[in-house]
Amino acid sequence: MAADTSRNTERRPTFDPIRALAIEAIEQIEEGQQTDDAIRTVTNGKQLRGLDHRFIQQLVNGTTKMRRRLDVEINAYLTKPASQLHPKVRQILRLGFYQLAFTDRVPAAAAVSESVNLARRFTDEKLARLVNAVMRARLREPEKVRFANKDSDPVTYLADYYSYPDYFARYCHKEFGLENAERLLAAYNQPPHITYRVNFIKAKPDEVTHVLQESEVEFSFGRYLPEFIHIHQGGLPLEDQLLSSGKVFIQDESSGMPVRLLNPKPGGNVVDLTAAPGGKATYAAIRMRNKGRVTAIDKSPDRLKLVVENAERLGIKIIAPVVCDMNEFKAGQFDRVLLDPPCSGWGTAGKNADLRWTKTEDDILNLSRIQTKMIDRAAKLVKPGGVLVYSTCTIIRDENDQIVEEFLLRNTDFEIDPADQFFDKSVVNERGFVKTYPVVEGLDGSFCARLKRKLNP
């Protein structure tokens, strides 16, 4: 009997396993998984170099963010819509077009050949030829891609070109005008950066910056909160030396601004009504010099466990965790009350690639109803002369200004305590509210308002 030599003679297509993992993650995201979770799932157990992990993150985040625009471009070279393609082919073309249009270090030839290899790996030779033809057509005839006219149809142009759902493009156009909307939407498409908040309990800013400088890590200080340090490179530099040791905490500068607005004092009595994972509660405790009490409430035991773990790593002793729905929380009144309710998260669209495809207009309507109930409940916990800070990580008025203005109409014993006593007017509007955007100092989009309960209403 002749020996079976098929295993030796069969020619198997080569493919890049890193890009293959990216395809798997992109598919999971389209099925509803969050971006970070999808990347964790596909890379779990894989021995990847840091460079490979960063490449996967770039490909997955970028392709997910730019999904709508990529489909517009792909459609220019097809006889039928991209939505009708084999699902794997659609994702491979999206990934390939992303590399052609939005990466500097991937040669066009490599983007084409690796896309074809992926098609051979995941589908068949016929579909691989289709991928090859479409990718090469994109290189030969880039002028075939057409977008809506920005003057006659600005919303479609913004949504297609910058890759957002219609309702958000429409909102930004109405709220900011075409030019400013373009700047904002483009900013959300930039690679995100991380920010380290110096923990005064364990380190001084000079000590942290010295370590960063010695390791040649590029950084800049926060404009509004100088203990926040913006890192100008990927990854988590000096993770063991700075993060694991508790000398710094990852938190966007915009997320620290509500705590500065709260202005908690050493020895004070503070409650954070939606505390997990603990960024604001721990920052409040640090500003209080670890003196007094910060009651940290969250209805999820697992999420509240994160608050406790973060506090322990940071050396904070004054956080009192309470597992409870804030609407059912019963206690006396507090000097300072912080409410950071669930929101659409549209201020963090630059860091959460899948957000733009999972949040809907109905979500915003439902969230605004929840926020209204929560702020009314929070108000009952503020002692006369005390302060309530309402904050979100969204830029949608219905979740921000509107919630506060309607609250003030219902609660005449509260008044706005203008934020310009804490921040310069580049981030404070005419009503005294703080609003941040990625086009200003590269911060996440956010909102916060300081409301004071009158002593004698």
Active site residues: 393
For the chain, the helix, strand and coil percentages under 3-state DSSP, each to the nearest 5: 50, 15, 35
Task: Give CA–CA dist 77/117, Å, rounded.
Answer: 20
Task: Give CA–CA dist 262/383, Å, rounded.
Answer: 14
124 phi and psi angles, rounded to 5 deg:
-150, 180
Which residues have CB under 8 Å from 54's CB, separation 6+?
234, 235
Nearest one of 9, 30, 17, 29 to 117, comparing CA atoms: 17
Burial class, 332, CB count within 10 angstroms (exposed 0-12 / middle 13-18 / buried 19+): exposed
- Is residue 345 within 8 Å of 396, Cβ to Cβ? no
Which residues have CB under 8 Å from 319's CB, separation 6+?
278, 281, 282, 285, 294, 295, 296, 307, 308, 311
Task: Give CA–CA dist 113/110, Å, rounded.
Answer: 5
**Could you tell me how far CA 201 lies from the centroid of its own chain?**
27
- Is residue 324 within 8 Å of 299, Cβ to Cβ? yes
Sign, CA torsion 306/307/313/317: negative
Task: Give CA–CA dist 175/184, Å, rounded.
Answer: 11
Longest dimension (CA), the chain: 102
Measured N-to-C along each axis, helices 87-102 and 125-140 cross at an angle, to the nearest 10 degrees, of: 30
Nearest one of 373, 392, 447, 449 to 416, comparing CA atoms: 449
